[in-house]
Amino acid sequence: MLILGAGPAGLVLGNLLRAAGIDCLILERRSREHIENRARAGFLAANSVRLLAENGLAEGLLRSGFEHDTCAFRSDRAEFELDYRELGRGEVHTVYPQQFLVRDLIAEFLSRGGEIRFGAEVSSVSGTDATVIADDLLLRADHVAGCDGRHGVSRRSVPARVFQRDHGISWLAILAEAPPSMSAVGYAIHERGFAGHMARTSTVTRYYLEVPRGEDPANWTDERVWAELHLRMRAEQYGSLKQGAIIERRIVDLGSHVMDTIQRGNLFLAGDAASLISPAAAKGANLALLEAEILAGALIAAYEEKDRSLLDRYSAECLPRIWHAQEFSLWMIDLLHGPTGHDDEAVFQRALRDARLESLRASRAHQDFFAENYVGI
């Protein structure tokens, strides 16, 4: 079995297959140091925690992660909080930075007898005969899992109808060496644009600022970032922000990308290779783990029982879940953003957004819908 990419999808898949005694080789184009220190997602859904715990992959997150159950929404009208542990299915997130999870999964995969080749440059992959060319060497396998992300070669090797949507919104993603300033995930709606606050650890916090498309992150000095966060988070009204050195600033253009289908022959896509989703609802990494679990079950059935029926239905099993996550992500985008300006259309769209927020504040049915979809996957 060949797996392209040592992100969460590829590593979970590899660990599940090794637990079943299936030989796996993971090819990763980056260095081990790079992927073990790359800051990405940090909120694991209840289903992701279940998957990791049931398969002996949760020691680190159960020891060092922490449960999170509250969102706070701030606007020019008021602030309100939702404790989603008490809503919907009663599920919570577990906060555990992705780079920590990747380190855990690499160590466990290697201990289970798996092999990872770091710095391996894959130039082509074929699902027809399950072959891969990496570093000018031809590798053959029974199956290939493309978990190599949006820029990998796997997705280009699956002829599929592609659905794309540019939401026309950009965020400046900021990682600060500063303790969280509030216990909740903070969503601030402001006339200057959205701002977000998400804890990562007791000493590191993720922030987001909505910025114009094409903005250069280098234009945002530490002083400018903190001044804008202070303004949009309404710190004078709700409490000052705990500041620290900014260790990462990058631009995220919010968009959606879904392939239909996500398999060809013996090549199967998972994670960002299968679909891209905006970070508005923390679905990307959790979708990747779900797809890895589904693919692992199908591959184990094919190897152990000589039954390909689950593999043949892999796309049909995953795509409805992908579209469900995309729909809620778009719902969150519409909830948190609105056009600037004072023309009739801009005022109309902002009034609709305010109505959504008020319904979320006042309606238990709306709150249950939010909680179920916010944590569910």
Q: What letter does residue 75 receive in the DSSP assignment? A: -
Orientation angle between helical segments 8-19 and 98-111, nearest 10 degrees: 30
- How far is it, in rounded angstroms, from Cα 124 to Cα 146? 11
279 catalytic, yes or no? Answer: yes
Q: What is the pLDDT of residue 320?
A: 97
- How far is it, in rounded angstroms, from Cα 6 to Cα 13? 10
Q: What is the pLDDT of residue 78?
A: 87
Q: Which of 68, 143, 190, 197 is catalytic?
A: 68
Q: Which of 187, 207, 208, 314 is catalytic?
A: 187
Q: What is the pLDDT of residue 94?
A: 95
320 catalytic, yes or no? Answer: no
Q: What is the pLDDT of residue 373?
A: 95
pLDDT in tens, the chain (377 residues): 999 999 999 999 999 999 999 999 999 999 999 999 887 778 999 999 999 999 999 999 999 999 999 999 999 888 999 999 999 999 999 999 999 999 999 999 999 999 999 999 999 999 888 999 999 899 999 999 999 998 899 999 999 999 999 999 999 999 999 999 999 999 999 989 999 999 888 899 999 999 999 999 999 999 999 999 999 999 999 999 999 999 999 999 999 999 999 999 999 999 999 999 988 888 999 999 999 999 999 999 999 999 999 999 999 999 999 999 999 999 999 999 988 778 899 889 889 999 999 999 999 999 999 999 999 98
Structural tokens at position 335? 């909830």
Give the neighbor-by-neighbor strand order of the sheet with 93-95. Answer: 43-44, 93-95, 66-68
Nearest by Cα to 289 from 273, 270, 304: 270
257 catalytic, yes or no? Answer: no
Q: What is the pLDDT of residue 224?
A: 97
- How far is it, in rounded angstroms, from Cα 226 to Cα 207? 10
Cβ-proximal residues to 352 (8 Å cutoff; 6+ apart), any chain: none
374 catalytic, yes or no? Answer: yes
Q: What is the pTM of this model?
A: 0.93
230 catalytic, yes or no? Answer: no
Q: Which of 93, 143, 283, 337 is catalytic?
A: 283
Q: What is the pLDDT of residue 41?
A: 76
DSSP conformation letters of 347-359: HHHHHHHHHHHHH
- Helix (DSSP H) and strand (DSSP E) numbers for the chain: 12, 20
Q: Which of 180, 207, 279, 337 is catalytic?
A: 279
Q: Which of 84, 96, 314, 374 is catalytic?
A: 374
Question: Which alpha helices (DSSP H) does 80-155 contain, by range?
Answer: 98-111
